[in-house]
Amino acid sequence: MSIYVALLRGINVGGRNLVAMPGLCDLFGTLGLTGARSLLQSGNLVFQSQGRTGAMLERLLEVETEMRLEVPVAYFVRSRDEWRAIVAGNPFPEAAERDPSHLVVLFVKEAPSAKAMKALQAAIKGPEIVGSKGKQVYLVYPAGIGRSKLTHTLIEKKLGTRGTGRNWNTVLKLAELLQE
């Protein structure tokens, strides 16, 4: 059995796409995904599966969640080893230490090209800095996220792919869950 993290995009935000975590954990169980545990109410789950890749799991979960819970949602699945690499590969360790709530990892469906990352960097109008490794984009918001012009919509437009973000504190809490 392999252990995975599943991140859901855009649920339980602003009263839209409401999904109860116990119901979602039950759904995982009916799909043969064992030991599903959630962190927070914003769509962070750790679970076990055998013989499926992350991409296969994403497709399965997206189809079944829409069909059974009537909520269209994007999933971003990473294995325990991938998660370890995400933590170890953080290009901004100083930001992680100094201000982890302003360091965000954006999990994307496809690794951004060098051209897309240059376009994103060119679009930055404030003090934010970005870097990427594989299917993760690391973003530092030293002046805060709420007022930044580097919005989720702008990032997705420049990268040409969908994503969901988690701050560094959540990334580390999920890493802890993966060890239990």
Chain segment 27-80, per-residue pLDDT in tens:
999 999 999 998 876 688 999 998 888 899 999 999 999 998 888 889 999 999
What pLDDT is recorded for position 15? 58
What pLDDT is recorded for position 12? 52
What pLDDT is recorded for position 21? 77
Provide the β-strand partners of residue 4. 47, 79
Closest CA to 169 of 108, 73, 102: 102
Q: CB under 8 Å to 49, separation ≥6 — which residues? A: 1, 2, 4, 32, 33, 34, 57
d(CA 114, CA 117): 5
Using 50 as the pLDDT threshold, list the residues of the chain that sit under it: none
What pLDDT is recorded for position 18? 66
- pTM for this structure? 0.92
Question: Which residue ranges form the domains of the chain, and what is each CATH number?
Answer: 2-82 (3.30.70.1280), 89-179 (3.30.70)
What pLDDT is recorded for position 140? 98
What pLDDT is recorded for position 155? 96
Provide the β-strand partners of residue 48. 3, 34
What pLDDT is recorded for position 92? 98
d(CA 110, CA 1): 25
